[in-house]
Amino acid sequence: MDKVYVGIDVGSVSTNVVAIDENNKVVSKQYIRTNGQPLESVKSGIRSLESDLRRKHKVSGVGVTGSGRQLIGVMVGADVVKNEITAHATATVNYVPEANTIFEIGGQDSKIIFLNNGLITDFAMNTVCAAGTGSFLDHQSERLGIPIQEFGEYALRANRKVRIAGRCTVFAESDMISKQQFGYSKEEIINGLCEALVRNYINNLGRGKKLSPPYVFQGGVAANVGIKAAFERELGEKVMIPEYYDVMGALGAAILSREYIQFNGAVTKFRGFEAADIEFTPSSFECTGCSNVCEVIKVQINGEVAAMWGDKCSKWANGVTNI
């Protein structure tokens, strides 16, 4: 059987599962809505992956990333657990090696990553302001009664420019209502929203930093042609969107797992596709052993403690023998 390496990116909006071969060619791609249930979405992704591979491929390495990476790493038996910045940059360097600046906008957060000769030189993240993320557009599309899939096309049909206050979702909504009352069309208001998101993104994440082309735009929002056009107008440069723009985090995790396994001659810790059927129970408690009062995360698999983390002194983490 041919070897494949699996990457899992667990986010608040979507869970992405990707399998690549030894040449980084994508063999399988799963995009699943998380819906507040990351464990169940990963299990669904693993089952779909097993069906996709049809026993013709052997999983030889697994990498995980995203906001739920520690929990999912324990669940599936990951060989590599990496942060989103490293995972996204790794995928971009492999698929768009000439890139200097990465724009990544997801449903609940956004990132900007600066590269020089394939190495990360700087980055910034936004995890608190919705006005610079996909949820901002989702909410406005619902208010306007337009499917989010059509949002970008509406923006491209705008005949006039209208400036929407985009520093905050509350102000944006108020400004939208005012502009509608002034007689601006939905197309013009949507284009203004796209431009507002891009301004917010660049002002928050790019402030004080030098943005250099080539630019790469990835994350779920990269599907919105209105946002891409707004970036290009703001920057005066073309913005590239990679083929697998929506699963770049998972792709990066898969590549990192392949590199780790091959470099170290290691055997994967992957629990197998049976991981989708494992009884997996996370919980937490406060350790009162010292004044730090750390919140310790405990993960049990089939009733056995498999991992603990969160304690600064590693008292609990070091006391676990992974099953």
If asked whether residues 265 and 307 sit together in one domain, one would say no
If asked whether residues 233 and 257 sit together in one domain, one would say no
If asked whether residues 264 and 313 sit together in one domain, one would say no
Question: Nearest Cα to 227, choosing from 293, 161, 299, 154?
Answer: 154
CA–CA distance, 45 with 15 (Å, rounded to integer) = 8
If asked whether residues 237 and 152 sit together in one domain, one would say yes
Query: Would you state the pLDDT for residue 20?
Result: 97
CA–CA distance, 229 with 219 (Å, rounded to integer) = 16
Can you give the pTM of this predicted structure?
0.86
If asked whether residues 63 and 128 sit together in one domain, one would say no
Place of tokens 């923006």: 155
CATH number of the domain enclosing 26? 3.30.420.40
Query: Would you state the pLDDT for residue 220?
Result: 86
If asked whether residues 272 and 215 sit together in one domain, one would say no
If asked whether residues 77 and 193 sit together in one domain, one would say no
If asked whether residues 123 and 232 sit together in one domain, one would say yes
**Domain total in the chain:** 3
- Phi-psi group of 240: left, alpha or beta (phi > 0 → left; psi -120 to 50 → alpha; rest → beta): beta
Residues ≥6 apart with Cβ < 8 Å to 252: 7, 63, 65, 82, 86, 87, 88, 89, 90, 91, 92, 94
If asked whether residues 225 and 236 sit together in one domain, one would say yes
Query: Would you state the pLDDT for residue 138?
Result: 79
If asked whether residues 135 and 224 sit together in one domain, one would say yes
CA–CA distance, 209 with 233 (Å, rounded to integer) = 19
Query: Would you state the pLDDT for residue 143?
Result: 79
If asked whether residues 80 and 153 sit together in one domain, one would say no
Each residue's pLDDT expressed in tens, for the chain with a length of 323 residues: 899 999 999 887 789 999 999 999 999 999 888 877 888 899 999 999 999 988 889 999 999 998 878 888 988 999 999 999 999 999 999 999 999 999 998 877 889 999 999 999 999 987 656 556 777 787 778 878 888 888 888 888 888 888 877 666 666 777 777 887 788 888 898 898 889 889 888 888 888 888 999 999 999 889 999 999 999 999 999 999 999 999 999 999 999 999 999 999 999 999 999 888 888 788 888 998 888 888 888 888 777 887 787 888 878 877 665 55
Six-digit token pair at 213? 């082309």
First vs last Cα of the chain: how many Å apart? 27
Which residue range(s) make up the domain with 104? 97-241
Residues ≥6 apart with Cβ < 8 Å to 214: 96, 98, 99, 100, 101, 238, 240
Residues ≥6 apart with Cβ < 8 Å to 286: 293, 294, 295, 296
If asked whether residues 270 and 299 sit together in one domain, one would say no
